[in-house]
């Protein structure tokens, strides 16, 4: 049975708790997961979630029941369902990436410390939280690994029960696949996603996700072969024929990301009218 109960403080590992925000929806699933991580003198709030005073109050109540103050805020990325609630904790120090300028980000997020790949943050019991740069879903995406336990906070790089949207220009399908392959070399034993419940077989899940994306790429190539010189809006129905029509608008973003990857690999080309075709070798 799922333990995803909105607003409830749920322990998921020693020194790690989850609070589910009350923002369910088509893009957020059951809602955004916020996590509290114990340090020697306080709590790191990882992905504070949407700007919601009720959620902030539940996070604060959770911290009080743990008996530690929220002293730091860390984000996996700056989409508006992940970082805006940081503004409701003005005394906490903010750490994370800068937001890209694509019109889809939380403009209120400005870190006190810009994190980079390989940085580490101290946790309780001498453990560390390591930053892993995982661009793809968005260019500024980070995952965070608790090195002693192998618990990975995957944000929107991998979520439970669904694939994520890759929306250009800040999203990149090529970077996404590269980031997934990078995680295959990390000692990940449990995954705590930005949406959905814990992923208990993370390496299988990563491999399945890579295979799924490559199968979708094959469908893109097949559709270009059958329907050359078509815009994304014409291609989406055949490439995503296994997805409900009401989701085709969202699927078009990931389709464009696939096409841009193929263009970068000189396997597809786009003309001045944004019509896509295969590149014929030779």
Burial class (CB in 10 A: 0-12, 13-18, 19+), 218: exposed
- Could you give the CA distance from residue 220 to residue 143 in angstroms, rounded to a whole number? 29
What's the rounded mean pLDDT across residues 159-170? 94
* Confidence (pLDDT) at 280: 82
The whole-number average pLDDT for the span 227-243 is 96
**How does DSSP classify residue 40?**
S
For 255-273, write each residue's pLDDT tens digit.
Answer: 999 999 999 999 999 999 9
In whole angstroms, what is the distance from residue 146 CA to residue 153 CA? 8
Helix (H, G, I), strand (E, B) or coil at 56: helix
Mean per-residue pLDDT, 163-181: 96
Residue 213 has pLDDT above 90, yes or no: yes
**pLDDT(62) > 90:** yes
Q: What is the pLDDT of residue 282?
A: 64
3-state helix/strand/coil string of 221-242: HHHHHHCCCECHHHHHHHHCCC
Alpha carbons within 13 angstroms on the beta-carbon side of residue 2 total 13
Work out the mean pLDDT of the chain and round it to a whole number: 96
CB 237 within 8 A of CB 248: yes
What SS3 class is residue 155? Answer: strand
**Pairwise CA distance, residues 210 & 278, whole Å:** 23
- CA pair distance 268, 136, nearest whole angstrom: 20
Encoding tokens for residue 49?
A: 């979630």
Tell me: the pLDDT tens digits for 3-58? 789 999 999 999 999 999 999 998 899 999 999 999 999 999 999 999 999 999 99
pLDDT in tens, 105-130: 999 999 999 999 999 999 999 999 99
Helix orientation angle between 202-226 and 248-264, rounded to the nearest 10 degrees:
80
Q: What is the pLDDT of residues 68-116, one digit of tens each?
A: 999 999 999 999 999 999 999 999 999 999 999 888 899 999 999 999 9
**Percent of the chain whose predicted confidence (pLDDT) is above 70:** 99
Question: How far is the CA of 76 from the CAs of 128, 134, 140, 152, in angstroms?
Answer: 16, 9, 8, 11
Predicted local confidence at residue 104, as pLDDT: 86
CA separation for the pair 112, 208 (Å, rounded) = 37
At 1 the pLDDT is 39
Of the candidates 19, 53, 16, the residue with the CA atom closest to the CA atom of residue 34: 19
Task: Write down all domains in the chain, each with its CATH number in brackets.
Answer: 10-200 (3.60.15.10), 226-278 (no CATH)
Indicate whether 231 pLDDT > 70: yes
Structure confidence at residue 195 (pLDDT): 97
């Amino acid at each position: 049975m799922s333990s995803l109960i909105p607003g409830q403080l749920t322990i998921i590992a020693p020194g790690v708790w989850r609070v589910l925000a009350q923002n369910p929806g088509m893009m957020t699933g059951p809602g955004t997961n916020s996590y509290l991580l114990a340090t020697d003198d306080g709590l790191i709030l990882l992905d504070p979630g949407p700007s919601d005073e009720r959620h902030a109050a539940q996070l604060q109540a959770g911290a009080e029941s743990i008996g530690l103050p929220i002293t730091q805020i860390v984000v996996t990325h700056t989409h508006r369902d992940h970082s805006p609630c940081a503004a409701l904790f003005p005394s906490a120090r903010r750490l994370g990436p800068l937001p890209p300028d694509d019109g889809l980000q939380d403009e209120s997020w400005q870190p006190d410390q810009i994190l980079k790949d390989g940085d580490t943050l101290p946790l309780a019991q001498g453990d560390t939280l390591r930053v892993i740069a995982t661009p793809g879903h968005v260019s500024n995406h980070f995952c965070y690994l608790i090195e002693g336990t192998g618990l990975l906070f995957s944000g929107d790089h991998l979520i439970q029960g669904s694939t994520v949207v890759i929306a250009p220009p800040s999203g990149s399908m090529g970077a996404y696949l590269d980031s997934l392959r990078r995680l295959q070399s990390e000692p990940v034993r449990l995954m705590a996603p930005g949406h959905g419940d814990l992923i208990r077989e993370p390496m299988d899940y990563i491999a399945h996700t890579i295979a799924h994306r490559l199968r979708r790429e094959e469908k893109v190539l097949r559709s270009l072969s059958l329907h050359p010189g078509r815009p994304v809006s014409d291609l989406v129905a055949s490439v995503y024929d296994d997805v409900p029509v009401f989701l085709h608008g969202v699927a078009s973003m990931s389709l464009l990301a696939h096409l841009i990857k193929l263009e970068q690999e000189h396997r597809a080309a786009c003309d001045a009218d944004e019509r896509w075709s295969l590149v014929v070798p030779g």
